[in-house]
């Protein structure tokens, strides 16, 4: 892009491409909007919890006023449930906000930010937006983060690396890092380099993969733990997430955030959703069953998929670099929206968000049909 306005590093940014909205696909392919199935943005197939809907309706009567800039009630709740002081918590306009605040708080033009190949698309965006340099470290052969290589990249940066993004599980690969690996990494990273541990899908981890990230926040003053209400809590449209870090880093994030970065409805809904353990449990079980449903079908179709710890599965739909886009187009024509991941360096794969049983079924049938014709 060339324009006489703006900074070079801003002009160089490739804008984020999200899952395609249902209404847009309906228009483009002449389909009935109500019949379209969207498995493209890792949203909760249950929608938002009723408890959050009720809380928002009540909060709606106060929308003439600014939100609580400090999110007192929500922070108090998170603090008591998670066992960290409230002043270790930063609320964000989506956890995306926390990722960007972290980058802006610790890095600037000329600095480096380290993350893995095939990692979440927001990491390079947050890096480029401040004119810092992305150091993208090759993934392991199984598409996961190579933490020893990422550590090496930090050490070789001769002090330029200021921040590392680690996603666990990662999106779009669903890959998972064990607690020992992460802990060894945190112990080895220089203490003046910040580490964001992005746990947007934490609530979907099966019991045997759970670990205590809060204990690490207490131990490592350079760590920021990031969590989201968009996925398991079903509040993607409201934009709310939070970061947990010791006061030194939290204070920095607080200085650069917008004063009212989290709106009143989002705060009210998050308070309700966080306490709605029944909704969380239902979503967890639905996800676990949907994962088995999808992966069973992939095995039957002889398709390679990556074991996923999130609410989505990455599946390889062909052996040429046009495969992802080609199969995606055929799915769109049948009213099914999934996510091509060529922009993540995975052009032979598609990412499927786990939906309701009947949505998964419709996707599986469409994919079978398409592959049988190919």
By CB under 6 A, name the binding residues for ligand PLP.
42, 94-96, 120, 167, 171, 198, 200, 228, 230, 236, 241
Q: Which residues pair with 104 in a beta bridge?
A: none
120 or 204: whose CB is closer to ligand PLP? 120
- Considering the complex, what minimum distance in angstroms separates the CB of residue 160 from ligand PLP? 24
- Considering the complex, what minimum distance in angstroms separates the CB of residue 175 from ligand PLP? 11
166 or 323: whose CB is closer to ligand PLP? 166
Measured from the Cβ of residue 321, the count of other Cβ atoms closer than 10 Å reads 11
Q: What is the dihedral of CA 148, 151, 155, 161, to 10 degrees?
A: 150
- Considering the complex, what minimum distance in angstroms separates the CB of residue 127 from ligand PLP? 14
- Considering the complex, what minimum distance in angstroms separates the CB of residue 135 from ligand PLP? 18
- Considering the complex, what minimum distance in angstroms separates the CB of residue 344 from ligand PLP? 11
- Considering the complex, what minimum distance in angstroms separates the CB of residue 240 from ligand PLP? 7
Looking at residue 140, what DSSP letter applies? P
Do you find a cis peptide bond into 169, omega within 30 degrees of 0? yes
**Token pair for 353:** 């968000």
- Considering the complex, what minimum distance in angstroms separates the CB of residue 42 from ligand PLP? 6
C-alpha 45/C-alpha 153 separation (Å) is 38
Q: What is the dihedral of CA 84, 89, 95, 101, to 10 degrees?
A: -140
102 or 193: whose CB is closer to ligand PLP? 102
- Considering the complex, what minimum distance in angstroms separates the CB of residue 8 from ligand PLP? 27
Length, in residues, of the chain: 374
240 or 249: whose CB is closer to ligand PLP? 240
**Token pair for 256:** 């650069």
211 or 301: whose CB is closer to ligand PLP? 211
Integer angstrom CA distances of residue 44 from 39, 48, 354: 10, 8, 8
Helix (H, G, I), strand (E, B), or coil: what is residue 344? helix
Q: Which residue is nearest to ligand PLP (CB)?
A: 94
C-alpha 40/C-alpha 28 separation (Å) is 17
116 or 360: whose CB is closer to ligand PLP? 116
84 or 200: whose CB is closer to ligand PLP? 200
Can you list the positions of beta strands (E) in 256-335? Answer: 312-316
- Considering the complex, what minimum distance in angstroms separates the CB of residue 294 from ligand PLP? 18
228 or 328: whose CB is closer to ligand PLP? 228
C-alpha 191/C-alpha 150 separation (Å) is 15
83 or 237: whose CB is closer to ligand PLP? 237
C-alpha 313/C-alpha 305 separation (Å) is 7
How do 223-228 and 241-244 pair as beta strands?
A: antiparallel
| CA nearest to 32, candidates 365, 334, 370 | 334
């Amino acid at each position: 892009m060339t324009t006489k306005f703006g900074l070079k590093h801003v002009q160089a940014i490739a804008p984020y491409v999200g899952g395609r909205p249902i209404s847009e696909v309906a228009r483009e392919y002449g389909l009935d909007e109500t019949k379209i199935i969207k498995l493209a943005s890792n949203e909760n197939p249950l929608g938002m919890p009723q408890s959050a809907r009720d809380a928002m309706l009540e909060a709606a009567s106060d929308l003439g006023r600014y939100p609580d800039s400090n999110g007192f009630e929500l922070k108090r709740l998170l603090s008591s449930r998670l066992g960290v002081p409230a002043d270790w918590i930063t609320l964000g306009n989506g956890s995306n906000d926390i990722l960007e605040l972290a980058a802006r708080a610790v890095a600037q033009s000329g600095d480096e930010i380290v993350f893995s190949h095939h990692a979440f698309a927001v990491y390079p965006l947050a890096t480029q937006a401040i004119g810092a340099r992305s150091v993208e470290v090759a993934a392991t052969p199984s598409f996961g983060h190579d933490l020893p290589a990422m550590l090496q990249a930090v050490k070789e940066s001769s002090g330029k690396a200021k921040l590392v993004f680690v996603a666990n599980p990662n999106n779009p690969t669903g890959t998972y890092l064990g607690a020992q690996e992460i802990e060894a990494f945190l112990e080895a990273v220089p203490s003046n380099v910040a580490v964001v541990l992005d746990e947007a899908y934490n609530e979907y981890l099966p019991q045997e993969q759970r670990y205590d990230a809060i204990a690490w926040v207490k131990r490592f003053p350079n760590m920021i733990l990031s969590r989201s209400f968009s996925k398991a809590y079903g509040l993607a449209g409201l934009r709310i997430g939070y970061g947990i870090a010791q006061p030194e880093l939290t204070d920095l994030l607080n200085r650069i955030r917008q004063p009212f970065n989290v709106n009143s409805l989002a705060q009210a809904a998050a308070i309700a959703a966080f306490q709605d353990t029944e909704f969380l449990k239902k979503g967890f079980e639905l996800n676990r069953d949907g994962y088995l449903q999808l992966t069973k079908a992939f095995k039957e179709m002889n398709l390679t998929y990556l074991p996923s710890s999130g609410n989505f599965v990455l599946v390889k739909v062909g052996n040429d670099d046009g495969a992802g886009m080609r199969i995606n187009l055929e799915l769109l024509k049948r009213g099914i929206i999934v996510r091509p991941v060529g922009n993540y360096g995975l052009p032979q794969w598609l990412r499927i968000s786990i939906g309701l049983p009947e949505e998964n079924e419709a996707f599986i049938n469409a994919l079978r049909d398409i592959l049988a014709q190919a």
